[in-house]
Structure 1
Amino acid sequence: MDALMTLAADPAVWAALGALIAMEVVLGIDNLIFISILTNKLPEHQRARGRRIGIGLALILRLGLLSTVAFIVQLTAPVFSVFGKAFSWRDLILIAGGLFLVWKATKEIHHKVDPDHGPDMFDGGAAAAVTFGGVIFQILLLDLVFSIDSIITAVGMTEHIPVMVIAVIVAVLVMLLAADPLARFIDKNPTIVMLALGFLLMIGGTLIGEGFGAHIPKGYIYAAMAFSALIEGLNMMSRRASRKRGG
């Protein structure tokens, strides 16, 4: 308790907490977009439950990883080299997660532009329970990738576990509050779905690049996403104005 009171009295700790919460919220956007797109494929009565389970899994994974933070830090140690390039377990996890995101986003884009696509191993012709389980399984895979990246980044910003725990909990609560409005907005605006899938492609490419050692400043990525979202917002306003003039 005395240690917690000492931390609470340190302005530097509060500054680190604020920065870490902001970072966790921003990193959570990627996770939230993926969860929203996947759960919108479920029957309407299962969507909210799917989102809550997906975000709950993200919280459990992050807190669980924080309890093994010493092990997580070791994931950055090189395990083998190829042509002089050393790879750690973190690199391999980021590459695998990036490839999964690129595959998933590409498949979803194909489904959008080609309505006569073949059966899907997760949602084609399967029972509702199997479909729900398949969606949760995919969310769990990406939750794991995003959680490891989030915790390793958090360790680089502060050494205080209580600060990391508070930041993770606050960020996940923000995700929980934003999940339903974001999912409904994506569902009601088909062009937003394609934009979100484009974001997932970019995020997947970024994860692969980082896994191979190419450091891509996240500020550039999120600035590009914000600019794209702004342009799409202007397009939506333009279409709405056109419909009013036409009516």
Structure 2
Amino acid sequence: MEKRSAAWTVARIAICAALYAVVNGLTAPIGTPWGVGQFRPGVIIPALFAITSGTLVAAVGAGLGSFVGDVIFLVPAGQTNVVLALAAGLPGNFIGFLVFGYIVNRMKSWSAFAVGSVISLLIGNMVAAIGVMAFFEPLRTESATAFWVGVFGFTLFWEFTMMPFMILLLPILLRSLYGMNSTSIWPSGPQRWKPEPLYRVAAAAAVASIPFFVAGGLSYLGYFDAAYGAWPLLGPVLGPVMTLFELGIAVTILFSPAAPLLAGSAK
């Protein structure tokens, strides 16, 4: 991507943050099973800006947009507070899209898109989950294991409710943008990515998902069993979260090859 002025970068950050805040506000009523955190299909907004406008724009826009959206929509509704928004949402979104933008813009391929989607959401959501659990740490009286069970649950919920939108809806948005011959407005994107077979995209998604296979295996072996009842808000919903995990893995691997098809750039 060619070098842009500071004004261009600031303007793109502001647009990204504003759009992300509004979309998050629209879906804010849909929460996690534990009453903290929200369903966020709006992650496609900073992901879109990462591809079209660069890593810095996406990372800063995501962090600011998450914080502003929380303050405007969630704090007045009593669903969060400013400290929690700073401790969880802001750093999680910033780091997650910093990783996504770096991977996608460095490798410029649909395999990189698949890997970047899985890994960036894993890292970003884990950072946010640690922030949430650390915020409530003084209120807990259970074992330390419950802390990591909470991180595990939040991370899985966010990861696999976000992935379908990343791999299915985002490519459609990209196709719409580049179909308008708007390369002067959106100077970088998949129309310039190197061609590759679809099976390689699926393989990349499968390899990137290995941490989830390991986590799922540990849970089925009973590694987390000791803490299932440790936190009343957490234990009863781990079963449904594991079902979400299984479905999410399947969707990620099976539908990742659809991304270049939906974007109209499959070779």
Q: Same fold (TM over 0.5)?
A: no
- TM-score, normalised to structure 2, is 0.28
Larger Rg: 1
Task: Point out which structure has higher relative CO (alpha carbons under 8 A, 6+ apart).
Answer: 1
- TM-score, normalised to structure 1, is 0.30
Say which structure is richer in helix.
1
